[in-house]
Amino acid sequence: MSGAAVDGGDAGLEPAEEFEGRRERRTPQVLAAVRRLLAAHGRAAVRARPLSARANVVVALDGLPAGAHPLVVRSPTRTDLLAGQDPADPWRHHQELGLARRLAGRGAPVVPPATDDDVLPAGPHLVDGLVLTVWRAGRPPRPHELTPQALGSTLRALHDAGRGDPGAAALPPLGPVAGDLDLLLATAARLRAADPGLLARLHEARAAVTGPLLAADRTTWQAVHGDAHPGNVLVLDGRLVWNDLEDACLAPPAWDLGTLRSSARTDGAAALRAYAAAGGPVPDVAALAAWVAARDLQRAAWTALRARTPAALAEVHALLDGLLAA
């Protein structure tokens, strides 16, 4: 049944004016889909409980048999907005599951997918037009566990395992601010979610910021997390592990380091020092500037798609002013 579709309707892309609130509407849809998936696997007695609804709806599975691994089911609420994503061919989720399996097999600090021996296999599953994937369940780290030192050393271990990954060449080069960004801008235009002047500025910034990075030497590019901020870290089996590899891409480690360095949720400078202490030098702040700018571009594009207030639009324009003045 792994990866199979469970018929029961389909889910279309909401118009732009309904973008806000999609998470609230999506949660009951995902819960119903998870229950259908459980029933299809003879696990109707297992209960589905919502955990969170941000970039993904995450559903916990309660009432598992004794000795079973705790599991969660994830379904995207953000990346499925991208134009050209066909739910019947969820390549992004195959990519994420495959990378997570390979990295976990090398001992990397990542959340592993479920296996065929678990209550549900990993998938991806297509149910009622929604893509569902199944993962081992971790817990949010406590403040004393989520230190800059722990973040830096754990990211180093992830990068060490990703170096030489046999599937890295198939990952999208600098995906979050290249292919994904192009799809996002196309989606914004199609849904009329941003005015033409703002879209023109975003395209200009994409060329100015991402173009030179893609044209640079790729000798050091490898499989990286793609969204390496503290919110994507969990605790599993007593250690910090990286979660949510849906933005994983082919890029230099500097892409992840720039994201971590610019995070408001940790001391990024201390995290980079810990990264260096765990395995060698890292780029200095000046060398990371281009990668921090790329992260700002990604934030500007997503904010533009969701912007419904003058303050939100002003934030986008302020980010673009900085990027285009550089």
Q: How confident is the model over 218-246, as pLDDT tens digits? A: 999 999 999 999 999 999 999 999 999 99
Q: Which CATH architecture has domain 148-325?
A: Alpha-Beta Complex (3.90)
Integer Cα distance of 26 and 131 in angstroms: 12
pLDDT digits (tens, 9 = 90+) for 18-59: 455 565 678 999 999 999 999 999 999 999 999 998 889 999
| Residue 187 confidence (pLDDT) | 84
- Top pLDDT among 12 and 27 is at 27
**Is 50 exceeded by the pLDDT of residue 13?**
no
282 pLDDT band, cuts 50/70/90, is confident
At 79, the pLDDT band (50, 70, 90 cuts) reads: low
Mean pLDDT confidence for 307-319? 90
In this structure, the strands spanning 5-6 and 47-53 are unpaired
Q: Which residue has the higher pLDDT, 18 or 174?
A: 174
Q: Which of 45, 4, 9 has the alpha carbon at shortest distance from 29?
A: 9
Q: What is the mean pLDDT of the chain?
A: 89
pLDDT beyond 90 at 109: yes
Output the pLDDT for position 16.
Answer: 43
Q: How far apart are CA 311 and CA 302, in angstroms?
A: 15
Average pLDDT rounded to a whole number, residues 108-118: 97
Q: Where are the domains of the chain?
A: 5-136, 148-325
Q: What is the pLDDT of residue 11?
A: 34
Residue 167: pLDDT band by 50, 70, 90 thresholds? very high
For residues 225 and 78, the model is more confident at: 225
List Cβ neighbours of 75 (8 Å cut-off, separation of 6 or more): 26, 30, 33, 56, 57, 59, 130, 131, 132, 133
